[in-house]
C-alpha cells in the first residue's frame, strides 16, 4: 500500500512539474515565429525584439543590438522568403518548433526554435539554431 501511495505521489508531482499543452499552443508558437519573421522582413527591429524571451533580452539589451546579431549570424532567418512549419514538440514546458525556410539565394534551411509561455500568457522565443536543408537541386 505504501509503494502505491509513493507511486501516485510521484506521478502527481511529475504532472504538476510539466505544464499541460493547450489547444492554442501550436497556434501561439507559430504566431510568435511568423510575427518575428514578418518584423525582420519589414525592418521593424522593436517589433522583432518584442517576440524575444527574457533570456534573449538579457543577452541583447536593445532592439538595435539584437538586430545586429540576427543580421550577422542568422541571415537565412532574417531574410527568409518563405516559412513552412514542421514538427512541434513539447519537453518540460519548452516548445520546440522546426521551421523550413528559403534564404534570398534559394537555399533551404531548417530553423529549430525553442519557445516558452511567459507568466503573462504570451509565447516568447527563447532560442533558435539553424542548419542547411537537404536541397537536391543545390
Residue 21: band (very low, low, confident or very high) from pLDDT cuts 50, 70, 90: low
Confidence category of residue 14, pLDDT binned at 50, 70, 90: very low
- CB–CB of 70/48 below 8 Å? yes
Residue 48 resides in a domain: yes
Confidence of residue 136 (pLDDT cuts 50, 70, 90): low
In a domain, 2, yes or no: no
Q: What is the pLDDT of residues 59-97, one digit of tens each?
A: 999 999 999 999 999 999 999 988 999 999 998 889 999
Which CATH number covers residue 58? 3.10.450.50
Helices (H), 1-138: 2-17, 25-41, 45-50, 54-59, 63-73, 75-78
Q: Is residue 15 part of a domain?
A: no
What's the confidence (pLDDT) of residue 22?
61
Residues 71, 1: Cα–Cα separation, whole Å: 60
Q: What is the pTM of this model?
A: 0.81
Residue 108 forms part of a structural domain: yes
Nine-digit cell string for 98 = 522546426
- Domain assignment present for residue 27? The answer is yes
pLDDT digits (tens, 9 = 90+) for 24-43: 899 999 999 999 999 999 99
Is 91 contained in some domain? yes
**Domain assignment present for 5:** no
Asked if residue 20 has pLDDT above 50, the reply is no
The reply to whether 76 falls in a domain is yes
Q: Count how many residues are written for the chain.
A: 138
The total number of structural domains in the chain stands at 1
Structural domain for 81, as ranges: 23-132
The C-alpha atoms of residue 138 and residue 124 are separated, in whole angstroms, by: 33
Amino acid at each position: 500500500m505504501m509503494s502505491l501511495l509513493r507511486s501516485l505521489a510521484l506521478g502527481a508531482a511529475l504532472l504538476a512539474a510539466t505544464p499541460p499543452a493547450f489547444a492554442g499552443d501550436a497556434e501561439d508558437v507559430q504566431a510568435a515565429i511568423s510575427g518575428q519573421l514578418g518584423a525582420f522582413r519589414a525592418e521593424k527591429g522593436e517589433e522583432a525584439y518584442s517576440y524575444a524571451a527574457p533570456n534573449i533580452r538579457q543577452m541583447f539589451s536593445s532592439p538595435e543590438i539584437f538586430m545586429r546579431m540576427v543580421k550577422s549570424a542568422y541571415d537565412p532567418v532574417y531574410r527568409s522568403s518563405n516559412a513552412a512549419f514542421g514538427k512541434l514538440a513539447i519537453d518540460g514546458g519548452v516548445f520546440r518548433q522546426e521551421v523550413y525556410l528559403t534564404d534570398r539565394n534559394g537555399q533551404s534551411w531548417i530553423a529549430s526554435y525553442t519557445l516558452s509561455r511567459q507568466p503573462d500568457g504570451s509565447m516568447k522565443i527563447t532560442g533558435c539554431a539553424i542548419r542547411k536543408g537537404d536541397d537536391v537541386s543545390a
